[in-house]
Amino acid sequence: MLIIPAIDLKGGKVVRLVRGDFSEELVYADDPVAVARKWAAAGARRLHVIDLDGALTGTPRHLEAIAKIAKAVEVPVQAGGGIRTVAAIAQILEAGVAQVILGTKACLDEAFVTRALKAHGERIAVAVDVKGGRVAIEGWVRKEWMKPEALIRRLVNQGVKTLIYTDASRDGTMTGPSVETLKEILKLTQGSAACFASGGISSLEDLVKLKELIPSGLSGVVVGRALYEEKLDLPKALELCSPKESSPASIQKPAGSSKASGSSG
């Protein structure tokens, strides 16, 4: 089970939102590249980078920062936020990320997902963000009519191989994950897609509970606030959940995006 540190970007800074609320913003760092290097040095085997400004406005706002992060670390980066056009997918891939995360557009436009998968295959992941039992889109500020179960079934049928399920009501709260909900979500994937969970994870005890879902198809977890506030020690979490000899749902760092030797600029 992969433990993936989250790096959420807003206004050029590394932040976390509480329950996906843009008015409840916690700022942790001014230098996203330094944060990425820190998590990579601590043993992270993948990084999760989200352009929150892009998610809210519908247009990527942190492509330069994402490109610097991808260049600065040797581990693969999955990134998203405001990726709602074919051109935006191309831009973020050119920035050096290993996997593009679609969200709003994947919910609203089934044909767009089909085109993205045809062009980029397993380099496409989809985020399923949920608030109050409904899919939340446009930076979590809009709840769609669609229930997450219906969206997940459709995405799996389309051939999406990576899903990132976020319980927005728990995200940034460190109140623990909803294990029972995740069990139901994993039943929908039927092992045909790698599923990653996010929202509320705060301790090694939480990870022990989530490890029990590995046989049901849980491939990893995305963790944010608990790492930044040192409630969860990344090396200990990795030792518990991510043995070096295993690599669930592995994605590879693109060729030509090797680690830079200079400063973050």
Q: Based on the residue annotation, tell me whether 21 is a catalytic residue of this protein.
A: no
**Both tokens assigned to 236:** 């200990």
Which of 129, 167, 171, 206 is catalytic? The answer is: 129
- Over the chain, what HEC string results? CEEEEEEEEECCEEEEEECCEEEEEEEEECCHHHHHHHHHHCCCCCEEEEEHHHHHHCCCCCHHHHHHHHHHCCCCEEEECCCCCHHHHHHHHHCCCCEEEECHHHHHCHHHHHHHHHHHHHHEEEEEEEECCEEEECCCCEECCCCHHHHHHHHHHHCCCEEEEEECCCCCCCCCCCHHHHHHHHHHHCCCCEEEEECCCCCHHHHHHHHCCHHHCEEEEEECHHHHCCCCCHHHHHHHHCCCCCCCCCCCCCCCCCCCCCCCC
Q: Based on the residue annotation, tell me whether 171 is a catalytic residue of this protein.
A: no
Which residues form the catalytic set? Answer: 8, 129
